[in-house]
């Protein structure tokens, strides 16, 4: 596998929900790419558009959600133009997904084995026995003890962590090239969180499956990912490698996120929350989505959406402070108050 081959390239994606009260512009002009075998993190608050972006990639948006523009190139083919039938062959086989709440993500009235075998047989031309063996192997691979017996269990007979492992096993059972994990550890307690993350990292190395990890937990990102996207108000505000984002953030919003995470070395300092709440996506601000909560906001920020400025080859940020004509600022000095 060559290093920088693009597996997925999202270009100018726009997704909206056409509700009674108006068009909710959940994803506004988001572009990013994912290399083969890479782990990409997407971070943002609730309602920042990170989940909707991924549901758009899977083409799993429920009414009244619709992709209204842009391209989603998967191995060069535009998923936006695929028929539902073609998408069905991609889902589960090429791209699969793990969701937030493992307690409700499995059907309670069928055994874990039944559900896994069903997915395997849907995509692979194998008989029941072979599918069963693949499922047992996958459950073993994700660290479920005595997988043969566990196949006969119903989801409620699994603990939360085990269910999430089983979900991962199911998602990987057809050997997808891309796994989208939408807050896979949010519903789990901390020790189990670490185990599941380790498992995902481990499987990624073994199978070479690329992973998009959606989370609002910066700690999870730092531990697992190579590159990070920071989303806010349906837009991409910053993207870069983990080192760039954590050590040289180029956006006041990213800085705000970093400052609102507790740091054990400076436990006496108060945490600094970001004041205010995310913008209304029915009538998003004309300018930068973060402008009304940003303490560095200028007149221009309110009027015009900033473009993505290149900070390095891998590091982009959407902020007017980065414009050559912008006034000098201490905004990006991480320790500065």
Partner 1 sequence: MLKYCVKRALSMLLTLFLIATATFFLMRAIPGGPFTRERTLPPEVEKVLMEKYNLDAPLMVQYKDYIVDLFHGDLGPSFQKVGVRVNDMISAGFPISAKVGGIASLMIILVGIPLGILAALRKNTLPDYVVSILATVGITVPSFVIGAFIMYVFGELLGWIPAGGLDNWKGYIGPVLAIGGFSLAFVIRLMRSSMLEVTGQDYIRTARANGLPGYKIVFKHAMKNALIPVVTYIGPMVASILTGSFVVEKIFAIPGMGKYFVESITNRDYTVIMGTTLFFAALYVVMVFLVDIAYALIDPRIKLND
| In the complex, least distance from residue 153 CB atom to partner 1, rounded to whole angstroms | 9
Question: Within 13 Å and on the Cβ side, how many CA atoms surround 125?
Answer: 0
Size of the site for partner 1 (CB under 8 A): 30
Rounded distance between C-alpha atoms, residue 91 and residue 84, angstroms: 10
Q: Please return the burial class of 189, using the count of CB atoms within 10 Å of its CB with bins 0-12, 13-18 and 19+.
A: exposed
**Nearer Cβ to partner 1 (156/247):** 156
Assess 89 for contact with partner 1 (CB under 8 A): yes
CB of 155 to partner 1, least distance (A): 8
Which of positions 68-87 make contact with partner 1 (CB under 8 A)? 87
3-class state of residue 107 by DSSP = coil
State the nearest-atom distance from the C-beta of 169 to partner 1, in Å.
Answer: 12
* Contact call for residue 132 and partner 1 (CB under 8 A): no
**Interacting residues of 45 by C-beta distance below 8 A, sequence separation 6+:** 216, 232, 278
Q: Rule CB under 8 A: is residue 159 a binding residue for partner 1?
A: no
DSSP string, 7-22: EEEEEEEEEEEEETTE
By CB under 8 A, what part of segment 166-205 binds partner 1? 167, 170-171
CB of 190 to partner 1, least distance (A): 23
Looking at residues 106 to 125 of the shown chain, list those that interact with partner 1 (rule: CB under 8 A): 106-111, 118-119, 122-123
Residue 211 CB, shortest distance to partner 1, in Å, is 15
CA distance 150 to 235: 43
In terms of DSSP H, where are the helices of 177-324? 190-207, 218-224, 242-247, 252-259, 299-303
Q: Which of 76, 40, 300 is nearest to 179 (CA)?
A: 40
Give the residue with the Cβ less far from partner 1, 106 or 322: 106
Nearer to partner 1, 29 or 93 (CB): 93
Minimum distance of partner 1 from residue 209's CB (angstroms):
15
Supply the minimum distance, in Å, between the C-beta of residue 104 and partner 1. Answer: 4
96 near partner 1, judged by CB under 8 A:
yes
Question: DSSP label at 103?
Answer: T
Strands 39-43 and 227-232: parallel
- Scored b (16 or more CB within 10 A) or e, 26-44 reads bbbebbbbbbbbbbbbbbb
Out of 66, 88, 124, 216, the residue judged to bind partner 1 by CB under 8 A: 88
Question: Per CB under 8 A, does 101 bind partner 1?
Answer: yes
* Binding of residue 253 to partner 1 (CB under 8 A): no
Tell me which residues touch partner 1 (CB under 8 A): 58, 60, 87-93, 96-97, 99, 101, 104-111, 118-119, 122-123, 154, 156, 167, 170-171
């Amino acid at each position: 596998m060559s290093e920088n081959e693009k597996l997925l390239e999202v270009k100018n994606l726009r997704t909206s929900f056409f509700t009674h009260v108006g068009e909710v512009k959940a994803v506004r002009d988001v572009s990013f790419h994912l290399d083969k075998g890479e782990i990409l993190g997407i971070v943002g608050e609730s309602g920042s558009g990170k989940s909707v972006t991924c549901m758009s990639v899977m083409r799993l948006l429920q009414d009244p959600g619709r992709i209204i523009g842009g391209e989603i190139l998967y191995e060069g083919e535009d998923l936006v133009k695929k028929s539902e039938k073609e998408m069905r062959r991609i889902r589960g086989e090429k791209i699969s997904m793990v969701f937030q709440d493992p307690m409700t993500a499995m059907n309670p009235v069928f055994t874990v084995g039944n559900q896994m075998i069903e997915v395997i047989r849907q995509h692979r031309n194998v008989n029941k026995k072979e599918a069963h063996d693949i499922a047992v192997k996958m459950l073993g691979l994700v660290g479920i003890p005595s997988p043969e017996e566990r196949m006969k269990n119903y989801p409620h007979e699994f603990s939360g962590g085990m269910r999430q492992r089983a979900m991962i096993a199911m998602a990987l059972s057809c050997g997808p090239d891309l796994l989208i994990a939408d807050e896979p550890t949010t519903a789990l307690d901390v020790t189990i969180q670490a185990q599941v993350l380790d498992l995902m990292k481990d499987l990624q190395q073994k199978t070479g499956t690329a992973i998009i990890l959606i989370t609002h937990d910066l700690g999870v990102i730092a531990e697992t990912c190579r590159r990070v996207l920071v989303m806010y108000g349906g837009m991409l505000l910053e993207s870069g490698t983990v080192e760039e984002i954590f050590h040289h953030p180029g956006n006041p919003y990213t800085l705000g996120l970093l400052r609102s995470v507790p740091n054990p070395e400076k436990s006496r300092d108060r945490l600094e929350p970001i004041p205010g709440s995310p913008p209304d996506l029915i009538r998003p601000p004309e300018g930068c989505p973060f402008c009304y909560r940003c303490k560095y906001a200028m007149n221009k920020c309110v009027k015009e959406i900033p473009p993505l400025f290149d900070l390095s080859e891998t590091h982009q940020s959407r902020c007017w402070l980065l414009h050559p004509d912008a006034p000098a600022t201490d905004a990006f000095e991480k320790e500065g108050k």
